[in-house]
Amino acid sequence: MAGKKGFILCVCQGTCPSFAKMDVFGVLSDVRREKLVDYVCLHPQLCVGDGEEFLKTLLSGGETEKLYIAACDPQMQCKMYRDAFEAVGFDKTHHLALDIRNRTTEEAGAAIKELIADNP
Ligand code: SF4
């Protein structure tokens, strides 16, 4: 059986102006409604200690095959999540990162759907 596809939206605690133009729950609903992934979730700050623990807990069972993360700069994401992925043996090439800062709800939703479609 194929592994699951998950989607995480990370929004800098919800206080960063870069995310002010989007309705984060609207973005999540948009992705979820179309059943593009097996699960969606929101995390306020993946790049700190409890965010790392969240990633380790989420991925430790090995059920997630692909993890799409919409947040900040993709290269920064790779660096910031690397330890968590390595700790649980998650293949970092199965992390698909997207920068959605300064996008509207519609723009963010469209970019996320394109990322998933291009990396099934
Ligand atoms: S991972 Fe990126 S978007 Fe998420 S809190 Fe850290 S800097 Fe902000």
- Domain total in the chain: 1
Residue type, 117: A
Provide the b/e sequence for 79-118 (b: ≥16 CB within 10 Å). ebbeebbeeeebeeebbbbbbbbebebeebbebbeebbee
> Ligand 1 centre from 79 Cα, in Å?
11
Domain containing 104 equals 4-118
Question: Tell me, what CATH number does 77's domain have?
Answer: 3.40.50
99: β partners: 71
pTM value?
0.96
Phi, psi for 53 (deg, rounded to 5): -65, -40
Tell which atom from ligand 1 comes closest to the C-alpha of 19.
3
Judged against a pLDDT cut of 70, whether residue 1 lies above it is answered with no
Q: Measured from the CB, is residue 45 less than 6 Å from ligand 1?
A: yes
> Ligand 1 centre from 35 Cα, in Å?
25
Sign of CA dihedral 36, 42, 47, 48: negative
Interval 2-28: pLDDT, tens: 799 999 999 999 899 999 999 999 999
